[in-house]
């Protein structure tokens, strides 16, 4: 056993304090802008007009009137409904399509298999945002423009990362399971439905979380494809606050908090899955 030299002890302590300080500062940088918006959302119109300071507390901590305004006049309820519908259909579709493609690619040998794999591989290199000019014309020619089906089809059709995540998992399922089932008289569809799909549960959880958050947050696609006001999703409806409430920061703040709150709840509840999910999603 060696005794540490006193100066190294001091230096270690200083280093540790500095690291902690940097973490505290970083947390403040993250949390302060959010906290201020939350405080603003509780302030009344009069308070704001009097020039309430950004960091000041609201007079009444339980003043939820701005939330009522945001919900009713900002049509946030309809927006949450539209988002929920798109989310449900697009995520279910992604899971079904991704797992089917992964099953076919991993478990069958067929002509052009290599070509199919290459097609999926190369597609990951094309960022969707660069091709919207032409994608728009295709969506329009399908008659999906300005309908909820445009984002649904695009979310389902351009998610190659999910196929990769599923492919990884299908590979790890032993083929002997398929073979045993086939001996019992199961066909390919039964094997997919009864054996592969249930065993993909961890991959499905990952895809649902990553895809769900991405769809919930997406702004570009609904903004481009659904200009009608009654087709607003939370991103586009919140964006529309900018016009009528331009000077009413208390209402905009309330809308912003309404949008962030579900994310916060999901994050707190599913933290571990979310970290793993985004790690898999980004590196595959």
Partner 1 sequence: MPATHTTEKVARPPSAAPPPPVPRPAPRSVRLWRKLTPWLFLAAPLALLVAFTYAPVVNMLAYSFTDWDGVSPELSYIGADNYVEIFTRPELFQVFFVSGYYLAASAVQIALALYFATVLSFNVRLRNFFKGVLFFPYLINGVAIGFVFLYFFQDGGTLDSVLALFGYESDRAWLGTSTSANISLASVSVWRYLGLNFVLFLGAIQSIPGELYEAAELDGASRWHQFRYIIAPGIKPVLSLSVILSISGSLSVFEIPYIMTGGATGTETFVIQTTDLAFRFNKTGLASAAAVVLLLIILAVTWVQRRLVPDDKVDLT
Which residues, 60 to 89, sit near partner 1 by CB under 8 A?
Answer: none
Would you count residue 10 as binding partner 1 (CB under 8 A)? no
Contact assessment for residue 42 and residue 58, using Cβ atoms and an 8 Å cutoff: yes
**Region near partner 1 per CB under 8 A, out of 42-50, 57-65, 73-81, 179-187:** 179-187
Residue partners of 101: CB distance under 8 A and separation at least 6: 120, 163, 166
**Region near partner 1 per CB under 8 A, out of 42-50, 57-65, 72-80, 180-188:** 180-188
Q: Applying CB under 8 A, which of residues 120, 145, 149, 197 lies at the interface with partner 1? A: 120
Q: Applying CB under 8 A, which of residues 4, 21, 22, 73 lies at the interface with partner 1? A: 22
Give the binding-site size for partner 1 (rule: CB under 8 A). 97
Contact assessment for residue 104 and residue 255, using Cβ atoms and an 8 Å cutoff: no
Q: Applying CB under 8 A, which of residues 21, 68, 119, 265 lies at the interface with partner 1? A: 119
Would you count residue 176 as binding partner 1 (CB under 8 A)? no
Question: Alpha-carbon distance 76 to 254, whole Å?
Answer: 11
> How many residues are there in the chain?
284
By CB under 8 A, what part of segment 203-242 binds partner 1? 213, 216-217, 219-220, 224, 234-236, 238-239, 241
Cα torsion 205, 211, 215, 217: sign: positive
Token representation of residue 173: 């399922």
Q: How far is the CB of 36 from partner 1 (least distance, A)?
A: 5
Residue partners of 37: CB distance under 8 A and separation at least 6: 253, 256, 257
Nearer to partner 1, 182 or 201 (CB): 182
Q: How far is the CB of 10 from partner 1 (least distance, A)?
A: 15
By CB under 8 A, what part of segment 131-150 binds partner 1? 131-138
**Region near partner 1 per CB under 8 A, out of 42-50, 64-72, 73-81, 158-166:** 158-166
Question: Alpha-carbon distance 36 to 48, whole Å?
Answer: 13
By CB under 8 A, what part of segment 24-43 binds partner 1? 26-27, 29-34, 36-37, 40
Q: Applying CB under 8 A, which of residues 108, 114, 198, 230 lies at the interface with partner 1? A: 108
Radius of gyration of the chain (CA): 25
Question: Alpha-carbon distance 244 to 238, whole Å?
Answer: 11
Q: Applying CB under 8 A, which of residues 188, 195, 199, 205 lies at the interface with partner 1? A: 188
Question: Alpha-carbon distance 63 to 267, whole Å?
Answer: 26
Nearer to partner 1, 46 or 217 (CB): 217
Residue partners of 150: CB distance under 8 A and separation at least 6: 139, 144, 221, 225, 226
Would you count residue 249 as binding partner 1 (CB under 8 A)? yes
How many helices and strands, by DSSP H and E, does the chain display?
Answer: 15, 0
Distances from the Cα of 259 to the Cα of 94, 115, 254, angstroms: 24, 42, 9
Q: Applying CB under 8 A, which of residues 143, 187, 193, 201 lies at the interface with partner 1? A: 187
Contact assessment for residue 98 and residue 163, using Cβ atoms and an 8 Å cutoff: yes
Nearer to partner 1, 12 or 72 (CB): 12
Nearer to partner 1, 6 or 185 (CB): 185
Q: Applying CB under 8 A, which of residues 72, 182, 194, 201 lies at the interface with partner 1? A: 182
């Amino acid at each position: 056993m060696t005794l540490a030299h006193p100066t190294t002890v001091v230096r270690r302590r200083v280093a540790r304090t500095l690291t902690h300080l940097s973490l505290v500062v970083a947390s403040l940088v993250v949390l302060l802008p959010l906290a201020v918006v939350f405080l603003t959302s509780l302030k009344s119109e009069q308070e704001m007009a009097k020039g309430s300071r950004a960091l000041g507390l609201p007079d009444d901590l339980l003043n939820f009137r701005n939330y009522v305004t945001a919900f009713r006049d900002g049509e946030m309820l309809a927006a949450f409904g539209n988002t929920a519908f798109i989310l449900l259909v697009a995520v279910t579709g992604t899971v079904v399509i991704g797992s089917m493609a992964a099953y076919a690619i991993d478990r069958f040998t067929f002509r052009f298999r290599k070509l199919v794999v290459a097609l999926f591989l190369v597609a990951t290199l094309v960022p969707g945002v660069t091709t919207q000019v032409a994608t728009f014309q295709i969506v329009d020619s399908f008659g999906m423009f300005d309908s909820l089906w445009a984002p649904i089809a695009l979310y389902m059709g351009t998610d190659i990362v999910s196929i990769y995540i599923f492919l990884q998992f299908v590979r790890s399922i032993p083929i002997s399971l398929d073979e045993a089932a086939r001996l019992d008289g199961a066909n390919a569809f039964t094997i997919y439905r009864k054996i592969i799909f249930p065993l993909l549960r961890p991959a499905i959880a990952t895809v649902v979380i990553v895809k769900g958050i991405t769809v919930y947050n997406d702004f570009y696609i609904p903004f481009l494809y659904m200009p009608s006001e009654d087709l607003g999703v939370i991103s586009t409806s919140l964006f529309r606050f900018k016009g009528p409430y331009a000077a009413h920061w208390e209402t905009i703040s309330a809308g912003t908090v309404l949008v962030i709150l579900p994310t916060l709840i999901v994050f707190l509840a599913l933290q571990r899955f979310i970290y793993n999910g985004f790690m898999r999603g980004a590196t595959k």
